[in-house]
Structures are given as C-alpha cells and as structure tokens.
C-alpha cells in the first residue's frame, strides 16, 4: 500500500457528529499518517458532559510508522470546549517510549467549573494542568507536574492538588539495560469532607513516592507514603504487572477516612502492618497481618459493642482464585475471641472456626452468659458438609436460669440449597428440655420444621412476648 486517503463521517440520529480526512502515504522511512477530524462530538454524550467537549471537538495527528519498527508522533492536538491537549512522542524500534512532551489543560474559557466526563457527573474541578517532559534532556532527567484547583466529588473536596514526579531515564535504546527511576512528592490541601474524615486527614495530606525499574525486572517501590493529621499509610516492595508484593503499614487514630471504601461510616483507631501480595485488578490478596485497634466501630450496634475496647488482630488471610483462606487467623478482645483456619470456596472447602463470646447480652437483651461456637465446612464438587455447635454453660434466657445449653446444626449445601437438622438441649429454671427440628433453605423457599420438643415444664398463660416464646421452646 503506497497511498490511501479516507473520508470519515460519524452520524447519530441523522446528525453529523464527527467528520474529516485521514491519509496514509509511503515515505522513505515508513508510512506517514495524517488525520484531521472534527465535529460536534458532544451530541453523543449526556447533557452534563457536553460543555467539556464543546460545540466542536477537533483532533489532528501527524505520525510516522517506521519501517525499522517504532513510531514517531510529531504532533497530536486535541481540543474541545474545556479541553486542550498537545503532545509529541517517540518510541524505540521495539515500541518502548523514548520521548514524550505533553501539555494538557482542562478549564472553562468563561471561568466556570468543569464537570469531568466520568460516571455520576459529580466530579468537578475549576482548572487542571498536566505537563510531561520525558527523554528530551541530554542529562537523562525527566519531570512531570500535575496541578488541580477547585476539586469536588461526592463527599470530598479540595481547593488545591499538586504533584511533582521526576527521575532519570537511562539506556532507553538498549532493551536489556533500560533503567527508569522515579521520585515524587505532592499534597492535597483545603480539604472539605465529613467531620470524621476531616478529623483523620486534617485540612491537608502529603504524598511521597520513590522507586526504580530495571529492564526485565519488577518495579521496585522504595516507598509510597501518605500522611495526614491523624493518618500515616506506607507501602514498600515490588510491583510485577498489576500485583504488589511487599509491606503495608497503616497507623491512624480514626479510620473514618476509609468510610467511602467500606460503604458505611467507620471510626476508631487502628495500627496495622501487613506483609504479602495485593492484586487490585482481580480483587485478590494474600496477607499476614499484625495489628491492634481501639474502639473500632462500623455503624452496626451489635458489631460495635463486640469491637469496643482494645482489639488484637493477627494471622494470615487470603482471597485468591481458589477462594478464601485463613491461616492461624485470630481477632479478639475482652468481649469476643475469633479464630479461623482453612480454605473455603464453592468447589472445595476445609474450613473451621471458633468463637468465644463473653456474654450473650452483647447480642440480645433477652439473654446473658458466656457462649462458645465451633463450626466447620468441608467438602468438594459443590457439596459441603456443615457442622455448628453452640454451648452455653450457664446464663439467663428471658429472665430464667439457663444451664448446660447445647445446640447443634448438621447439614449440607448443594446447588444453592441448604438442608440440615437442629438438635438442642438445656436446663431452664431446673427443667430439662430437648429440641429437634429440620431446616431447608433455597432460592424458592425457607422452612423450619420442629420435629420434637420434650420437657416437663409448661409456662402459665400470660401476655404474649416473642422473647418468652423462644424461652418456652427450650
């Protein structure tokens, strides 16, 4: 192919949205590509985003695809209502970036706020600028600067965001000896958020990062550090593809800053160290934990009561393609002690846990006394055998003395269906009571069938109380 000229036109609902010419021509060094496109592209997007693209969006490209490999982008120009981007770039013969100059500005010509074309139409800024200068300096230094003014999103705003990143790019023409270092620092200031988040972050946070990459090796992350008023987070290790392996440390007097990630209000102090791997793209992790918390709360009355005071956390947890794994995992304080070991998935499971609860009153106003729970899940091929044992040596149930209470569930799951049997016995105010029943749960139905209830004690007639009804069934 020596020469090609193409007229392009994009229409929607009978209206032209983009049109122009693209040519490809053979030259002495390779193939020349030139493209000049433009039109009311905003007509294709939702109304809140149309000012970003403006009445006319224009794209010009002048590039060379070399016969010997690699590409040279001599000019890339993209402009619209609130966006202006100019760039040029070069790659090596094996398409490794060797030079990049980029200047991008997001701003409204009339001085108004800019709604970015991202989901939710709630990400707004007053002005944003990004400059990159890579591979243009004979000293091999490279640099980039990002500045954002008037940033707003759902639940978070900042008057200023600034970040400088640079380093050394050496031996880029030698695929076996390439080396790129990076060192950056920045801050987010004028923070406005919920009261708990501001208590954790303050009105500004600082960010620092440093590391290097050598050809054929994972990225070495010497440090990534975020520091706020009552929050310090740090990572160090290596990044291989999209997998991080190394150390994570978090120390904060208020975990409220992570409420958005959890989807609920959080509070309390946490000091945690973790070592292992994190795979953000797959949502996976394999971490050995060691940490303590103080008065942790997750906006759940029962859970918050269990987590009150000092909590110790240790052991290994993982989420991989093979399911969930716990290895000597424990979490505990004066109210509750939880331990777990094994692996669990829909295909294969060999998992066990134990829970020691200091007082049932933490779960219900109608009960009291220490309780122990032991459970296992074992099986393969989608069929799992489940066992759960609950014991309460002594306590109270709806105002009556409870002694030697034991409850056992044995069952199995298969194809989204749970079937099992419940058996229990206890002494309630000195009278022995036995309980037996069957449980069946599926997507279509839920049933609990009592197959046996024996005992010599019968309550007198009185006003109906749901809590007393359960006591009677013992």
Over residues 373-388, the pLDDT tens digits come to 999 999 998 888 999 9
Beta bridge partners of 450: 437
Element (H, E) at 143: strand 141-153
* Phi, psi angle pair for 427, to nearest 5°: -110, 120
* Phi, psi angle pair for 460, to nearest 5°: -70, 160
Final residue in a domain of this structure, among 81, 114, 140: 81
Q: Does residue 26 lie within any of the structural domains? A: yes
As a whole number of angstroms, the distance between CA 54 and CA 237 comes to 44
Model pLDDT, residue 460: 42
Q: Does residue 353 lie within any of the structural domains? A: yes
As a whole number of angstroms, the distance between CA 431 and CA 426 comes to 8
CA atoms within 13 A on the CB side of 275: 3
Question: Which of these, 382, 434, 439, lies nearest to 409 by C-alpha position?
Answer: 439
- Tell me how far apart the terminal alpha carbons of the chain are, to the nearest angstrom: 87
As a whole number of angstroms, the distance between CA 88 and CA 338 comes to 58
As a whole number of angstroms, the distance between CA 380 and CA 370 comes to 34
* DSSP label of 461: P
Residue matched to tokens 């160090």: 236
Beta bridge partners of 342: 326, 351
- Cα distances (angstroms) measured from residue 329 to each of 22, 272, 339: 61, 14, 6
Q: What is the CA radius of gyration of the chain?
A: 32
Is residue 28 within 8 A of residue 54, CB to CB? The reply is no
Residues in the chain: 474
Beta bridge partners of 244: 239, 278
Model pLDDT, residue 455: 52
As a whole number of angstroms, the distance between CA 221 and CA 230 comes to 24
Q: Does residue 227 lie within any of the structural domains? A: no
Final residue in a domain of this structure, among 52, 81, 110: 81
In the predicted model, residues of the chain with pLDDT beneath 70 are 1-2, 450-474
Model pLDDT, residue 157: 96
Give how far the C-alpha of residue 458 lies from the chain's centroid of Cα atoms, to the nearest Å. 54
Domain of residue 75 covers 1-81
Model pLDDT, residue 136: 86
As a whole number of angstroms, the distance between CA 218 and CA 220 comes to 6
Query: What digits encode the pLDDT tens for the residues 215-231?
Result: 999 999 999 999 999 89
> Domains in the chain: how many in total?
2
Model pLDDT, residue 340: 96
Q: Does residue 199 lie within any of the structural domains? A: no
As a whole number of angstroms, the distance between CA 257 and CA 376 comes to 35
CB count within 10 Å of CB 22 equals 15
Is residue 311 within 8 A of residue 293, CB to CB? The reply is yes
- Six-digit token pair at 363? 């779960």
Q: Does residue 377 lie within any of the structural domains? A: yes
Question: Which of these, 59, 68, 62, lies nearest to 25 by C-alpha position?
Answer: 62
Q: Does residue 100 lie within any of the structural domains? A: no
Final residue in a domain of this structure, among 57, 81, 105: 81
Q: Does residue 432 lie within any of the structural domains? A: yes
Residues contacting residue 204 through CB under 8 Å, at least 6 positions apart: 187, 188, 189, 190, 191, 228
- Cα distances (angstroms) measured from residue 36 to each of 24, 33, 135, 202, 275: 12, 10, 27, 48, 51
Model pLDDT, residue 452: 54
Residue matched to tokens 């290994």: 316
Question: Which of these, 434, 404, 408, lies nearest to 421 by C-alpha position?
Answer: 408
Q: Is 197 exposed, middle or buried (0-12, 13-18, 19+ CB in 10 A)?
A: buried
Residue matched to tokens 């209830």: 453
- Six-digit token pair at 246? 């190394």
Q: Does residue 461 lie within any of the structural domains? A: yes
Model pLDDT, residue 335: 95
């Amino acid at each position: 192919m020596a020469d090609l000229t193409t007229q392009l036109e994009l229409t929607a609902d009978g209206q032209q949205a983009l049109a122009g010419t693209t040519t490809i021509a053979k030259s002495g060094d390779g193939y020349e590509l030139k493209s000049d496109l433009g039109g009311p592209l905003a007509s294709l997007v939702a109304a809140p985003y149309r000012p970003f693209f403006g009445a006319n969006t224009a794209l010009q490209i002048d590039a060379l695809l070399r016969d010997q490999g690699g590409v040279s982008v001599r000019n890339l120009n993209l402009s619209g209502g609130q966006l202006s981007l100019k760039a040029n770039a070069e790659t090596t013969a094996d398409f490794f970036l060797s030079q990049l100059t980029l200047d991008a500005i997001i701003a409204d010509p009339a001085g108004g706020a800019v709604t970015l074309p991202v989901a939710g139409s709630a990400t707004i800024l007053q002005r944003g600028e990004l400059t990159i200068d890579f591979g243009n300096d004979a000293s091999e230094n490279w640099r980039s600067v990002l500045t954002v003014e008037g940033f707003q999103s759902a639940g978070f705003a900042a008057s200023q965001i600034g970040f400088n990143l640079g380093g050394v790019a050496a031996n880029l023409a030698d695929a076996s000896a390439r080396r790129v270092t990076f060192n950056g620092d920045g801050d987010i200031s004028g923070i406005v958020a919920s009261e708990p988040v501001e208590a954790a972050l303050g009105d500004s946070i600082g960010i620092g990062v440093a590391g290097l990459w050598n050809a054929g090796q994972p990225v070495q992350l010497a440090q990534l550090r975020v520091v706020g008023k009552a929050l310090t987070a740090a990572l160090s290790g290596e990044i291989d593809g999209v997998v991080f392996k190394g150390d994570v440390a978090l120390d904060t007097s208020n975990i409220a800053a992570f409420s958005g990630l959890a989807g609920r209000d959080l509070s309390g102090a946490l000091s945690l160290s973790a070592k292992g791997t994190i795979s953000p793209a797959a949502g996976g992790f394999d971490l050995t934990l060691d940490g303590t918390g103080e008065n942790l709360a997750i906006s759940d009355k029962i859970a918050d009561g269990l987590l009150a005071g000092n909590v110790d956390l240790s052991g290994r947890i993982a989420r991989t393609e093979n399911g969930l794994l716990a290895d000597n995992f424990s979490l505990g304080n004066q109210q509750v002690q939880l331990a777990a070991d094994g692996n669990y998935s829909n295909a294969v499971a060999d998992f066990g846990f134990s829970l020691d609860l200091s007082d049932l009153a933490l779960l219900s106003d109608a009960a009291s006394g220490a309780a122990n729970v032991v459970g296992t899940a074992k099986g393969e091929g989608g069929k799992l055998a489940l066992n759960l044992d609950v014991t309460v040596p002594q306590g109270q149930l709806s105002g009556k003395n409870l002694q030697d209470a034991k409850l056992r569930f044995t069952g199995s799951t298969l194809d989204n269906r749970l079937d099992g049997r419940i058996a229990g016995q206890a002494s309630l105010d000195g009278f022995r009571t036995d309980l037996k029943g069957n449980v069946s749960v599926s997507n279509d139905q839920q049933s609990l069938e009592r197959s046996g209830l024996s005992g010599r004690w019968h309550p007198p007639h009185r006003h109906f109380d749901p809590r007393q009804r359960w006591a009677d069934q013992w």
